[in-house]
Amino acid sequence: SAARLPALGDERHDVGAMYEHLAGLAERHGRGAVLSGDGQSVKFRFDGAQGVEVLRSWRRCVRELVGLAGGTREGLQALGTKRIYEHFKTFPWLGCLTIKEIFCYLYPAHPRSIDVNVYVPVGSGAQRGGQAVLGLRDVGGVDWHKEFLNMARSVPDRLAQQLTEAIRARSRSCPFADDDRVPGVRQQVASGRPTAGDVEVCMCFFMNYLRAKHRGSVPKGWTMLQRSLWSETSADR
């Protein structure tokens, strides 16, 4: 189908047909049925200020990254996490929040190339969460990756053990826990410890929790965060 995403090496086809197909679906069924994401930018993907040029730019970004890596997993690993981040930063519509999302998606498949303990971009929401949790008044010059990595590595022993048990208990129902295509999943299950990327996401959740508490209502999309789903970490253990 012309609406499919063309292969990276395909020089003849553009993403225009795919974009028009998605825009048509969004018009008929609503943007939320086509796109997901909690950032502000996702609300304007079909707006004239973004539109198909976002897809074209991101496709160029990935094509060039593959070229820098020589088209191999080993080449990507040789580039390293910081170099990959710097490459992403040179393209429009790729800010810290978006790159963090990309890192979180790619870490399971490429944990040696994109290691969130080596570097993870930190969005503004997570920075506000970190400031509140750490009790920082002045955040000028704060190395947020360093702060979040330290938080991940300094979890109190008792809580760390509970967290390890919860991670491994949940992993038993994960269909990818022993899948060679996502070695990062196996790696994290084996360690049973959080990463700096996990802390970054938790700081975002914390700020959302504070907003929900202030409003007195919980967003519908928060079903996955119900305490009952993580009973392994309950305080009465």
Average pLDDT over residues 190-207: 93
Mean pLDDT, all residues of the chain: 88
- Render pLDDT for 77-123 as a digit per residue (tens, 0 to 9): 999 999 999 999 999 989 898 899 999 999 999 999 999 999 999 98
What was the pLDDT predicted at 230? 57
Block residue for tokens 């008792």:
158
What was the pLDDT predicted at 237? 46
What was the pLDDT predicted at 148? 96
Residue 40 pLDDT > 80: no
Distance CA 230, CA 218 (A): 17
Q: Which of the four pLDDT bands, split at 50, 70 and 90, describes residue 48?
A: confident
Average pLDDT over residues 217-224: 69
- Render pLDDT for 1-16 as a digit per residue (tens, 0 to 9): 678 889 988 988 899 9
Percentage, residues of the chain above pLDDT 70: 89
226 exposure class (CB count in 10 Å sphere: 0-12, 13-18, 19+):
exposed
Residue 38 pLDDT > 70: no
What was the pLDDT predicted at 221? 65
**Residue 17 near residue 3 (C-beta atoms within 8 A):** yes
What was the pLDDT predicted at 215? 84
What was the pLDDT predicted at 91? 95
Quote the DSSP letter at residue 222: G
What was the pLDDT predicted at 229? 61
E strands, the chain, are none
